[in-house]
Amino acid sequence: MKIKSYAYGKWVEGTGAGKAVYHAVSGETIGTVSSEGLDFKAMLAYGRSTGGKTLRTMTFHERGRMLKRLALYLNDRRKEFYPVSAMTGATKADNWIDIDGGIGTLFVYASKGRRELPDEPFYVDGAPEGLSRNGTFIGRHICVPLEGCAIHINAFNFPVWGMLEKVAPTLLAGMAAIVKPATSTCYLTEKVVQAIVESDILPEGALQLICGSTGDLLDHVDCQDVVTFTGSAGTGKMLKSHPAIVENSVRFNMEADSLNCSILGPDATPDKPEFELFIKEVAREMTAKAGQKCTAIRRTIVPRSMVNEVMEALKQRLASIKLGDPAREEVRMGPLASRGQVKEVRERVNELLEVSERVYGDPDNFEILGGDREKGAFFPATLLYCDDPLRNRAPHDIEAFGPVSTVLPYRDVDEAVELAKMGKGSLVGSLFTGDDAVAKDVVLGTAAWHGRIMIVNEYCAKESTGHGSPLPHMVHGGPGRAGGGEELGGIRSVLHYMQRTALQGSPTTLTHITSEWMKGAAQPEDRIHPFRKYFEELAVGDTLTTHRRTITEADIVNFAGISGDYFYAHTDKIAAEKHHIFKQRVAHGYFVIAAAAGLFVWPGEGPVLANYGMDNLRFIEPVYIGDTIHLKLTCKRKTLKEPREDEPRQGVVEWDVEVFNQENVSVAVYTILTLVACKAQ
């Protein structure tokens, strides 16, 4: 069987003999992989002109809904992927990380796109910047999709999650993607891409797949393209220095394998819950995906006084984890992805043994449940111990990318911090402690060297997502050896595929461009009250200037009685006169807001359905007894809500509110949100 690529809208079988890929459990040949015959330059052109062009016409909300439909579709078909995943050596638990985790990432970005981004094809970044004395010339930053392709070169350990965690923010940003999975497990990626193509949910050209070598693909990248890489630091550096990437200043994001650590706090003695939690986590990270995780715990840093207890507890825990064929119910750890990986891990372990001793695991003598020990890619969980980790660099320099971890002792917290930093940059570190002072010292001492730090105690452990689980909400990446890049992190990763551009001009012009009203822009008024207009009838900038209201002593007294707020600055004349700012009684800020609502609200029935909330409230100047207020209510932004069967079509309207006193001085500013019905139902 030949594993195919998907390019320029069709499935393509590579020419030539290709490279064989093998079943990790039985060692049998699954098929051959070749990308010979693919026109890589044409793939880039197709993605840019076909997929990218369509995606760029869509808004974030439309792209988010597209991702949700795709996530639902793949979720319904995920059981089809599990048997193929087992061929890579994945257990049922491993499938939850790779397949279910990848689909879950699609769901998260679908939600974030619709909730945190505007219903526009662009993103307005930050607040307006005043650039002139009178406010007629201002600045604003806008982010638009890059007009190239995002090329994702992924590692063998996560054939599904590795693809979807990059594709989700790429598509949400409005870029087309070309995915290149690692050859040894690309047959699983192919299976999922087949389902994606069959769904017909993505625009044509939005996703292409290369199974096999990338050929001359990178020769044709330009400044509008993005290249991301997950894998070894050596390969990443080679790709990063590609002449076309350097010459064209192509964005390059690298996430490399790193020597991640987990630290047992000095307070977490064997009688404490944190000790047992630590043991469970280290053992889990050693054996999940057979230790083939870029986030796996390679360095187990423990107090010297507890070394024996830790090693004994880990030996017992590891002995209970059965190695073998993932198809067997009792198996908790499968094989490595390939025989080549077995050879690689064995060599690295031998290098580590030059400065360490073996505590558990023998590659020449171990049992498996099912599978072929000679032809399969099995390697036992292996625990090492290095007695002098400050003087011996090997545990901090050499990574055995499999079920291997080295125990490193420390004398005090400062030494633990130093050991953590000796990894020269990690994707993740974790700390198990019930002492918040220790937690603060370790975090502040090691944060500059880690992309993520997880702190666990007995109170959060039950809901903790684990040391080795990158989450779509949180940044994934790290400095130094870890690659110096960032993935995920919510909307942060979406902006990686967009160009941030500074705009300068008049407030009215920038309002028209961004579809968001800015102070100083035109505020046209109409004889029809804005609250009497349907969603479609409102225009950004529509403004109401209200009538006036004089604030009386009775207003303050009555509001104090209703609210129970008898703060002295409102109700005690003598104390208020001593106030170093007010010098006299002032109206409650919340009364001013309530009175403002009375000025701008239309009392009768109309399209406005409900108050949806209030943002960015600031009280700028005090309002005194006898002051007269009025306000301007301006339509700032409109967002159409997704239709639901059980409610009328409606949208969210954001209104800029500015309250003035009798001297036309601003006393309060805020944004209110209202639900407004659509005229067309």
Q: Is the dihedral of CA 44, 45, 48, 51 positive or negative?
A: negative
Hey, is 521 helix, strand or coil?
A: coil
**CA-CA-CA-CA torsion for 474, 477, 478, 481, nearest 10 degrees?**
160
pLDDT band at 257 (very low <50, low <70, confident <90, very high): confident
**DSSP string across 113-174:** HHHHS-SSSSEEEEEEEE-SSSSSSEEEEEEEE-SSEEEEE--SS-TTHHHHHHHHHHHHHT
DSSP H helices, 376-435, are: 394-397, 413-421
Q: In this structure, what DSSP letter does residue 576 have? A: H
Q: Is the dihedral of CA 36, 41, 42, 44 positive or negative?
A: positive
Q: Are 147 and 122 in contact (CB under 8 A)?
A: no
The tokens 């390697």 sit on which residue?
Answer: 379
Domain topology for 38-257+492-499: Aldehyde Dehydrogenase; Chain A, domain 1 (3.40.605)
- How far apart, in whole angstroms, are the C-alpha atoms of residue 440 and residue 459? 17
Q: Which residue type is seen at 370? A: G
Question: Kind and range of the H or E element at 491?
Answer: helix 491-495
The tokens 């006084």 sit on which residue?
Answer: 305
Question: Kind and range of the H or E element at 358?
Answer: strand 357-360
Residue 40 CA to its chain's centroid (Å): 29
What is the per-residue pLDDT across 99-115, written as a single tens digit (0 to 9) for each?
A: 999 999 999 999 999 99
pLDDT of residue 424 exceeding 80, the answer is yes
- How far apart, in whole angstroms, are the C-alpha atoms of residue 9 and residue 32? 22
Q: In this structure, what DSSP letter does residue 202 have? A: S
What is the per-residue pLDDT across 549-561, written as a single tens digit (0 to 9) for each?
A: 999 999 999 999 9
C-alpha angle with apex 358: 354 to 363, nearest 5 degrees? Answer: 100
Region of residue 95 (left: phi > 0; alpha: psi -120 to 50; beta: else): alpha
- In the chain, where does the domain assigned CATH 3.40.605.10 lie? 38-257+492-499
- How far apart, in whole angstroms, are the C-alpha atoms of residue 384 and residue 286? 12
pLDDT of residue 447 exceeding 90, the answer is yes
Q: Rounded mean pLDDT of the chain?
A: 91
Q: Within 13 Å of residue 210, how many CA atoms lie on the same side as its CB?
A: 28
pLDDT band at 439 (very low <50, low <70, confident <90, very high): very high
Q: Are 631 and 600 in contact (CB under 8 A)?
A: yes
The tokens 């715990």 sit on which residue?
Answer: 297
Amino acid 632: pLDDT: 95
As given in the structure block, the two tokens for residue 111 are 């939600």
pLDDT band at 237 (very low <50, low <70, confident <90, very high): confident
Domain topology for 260-466: Aldehyde Dehydrogenase; Chain A, domain 2 (3.40.309)
What is the per-residue pLDDT across 45-87, written as a single tens digit (0 to 9) for each?
A: 999 999 999 999 999 999 999 999 999 999 999 999 999 988 8
Q: In this structure, what DSSP letter does residue 324 have? A: B
pLDDT band at 508 (very low <50, low <70, confident <90, very high): very high
Residues marked active site are found at 255, 294
What end-to-end distance do the CA atoms of the chain give, in Å? Answer: 53
pTM of the model: 0.88
Report the share of the chain in percent with pLDDT over 70: 100
Mean pLDDT for the stretch of residues 373-397: 90
Mean pLDDT for the stretch of residues 274-281: 94
- How far apart, in whole angstroms, are the C-alpha atoms of residue 678 and residue 608? 10
Q: Which residue type is seen at 367? A: E
What is the per-residue pLDDT across 448-493, written as a single tens digit (0 to 9) for each?
A: 999 999 999 988 988 888 888 888 898 898 898 888 888 888 999 9
What is the per-residue pLDDT across 572-608, written as a single tens digit (0 to 9) for each?
A: 888 877 877 788 889 999 999 999 999 999 888 889 8
- In the chain, where does the domain assigned CATH 3.10.129.10 lie? 523-677
At the fourth CATH level, the homologous superfamily of domain 523-677 is Hotdog Thioesterase (3.10.129.10)
- How far apart, in whole angstroms, are the C-alpha atoms of residue 450 and residue 261? 10
Q: In this structure, what DSSP letter does residue 247 have? A: H
Q: Is 320 exposed, middle or buried (0-12, 13-18, 19+ CB in 10 A)?
A: exposed
pLDDT band at 444 (very low <50, low <70, confident <90, very high): very high
- How far apart, in whole angstroms, are the C-alpha atoms of residue 174 and residue 156? 27
Read off φ and ψ for residue 25, nearest 5 degrees: -90, -50
- In the chain, where does the domain assigned CATH 3.40.309.10 lie? 260-466
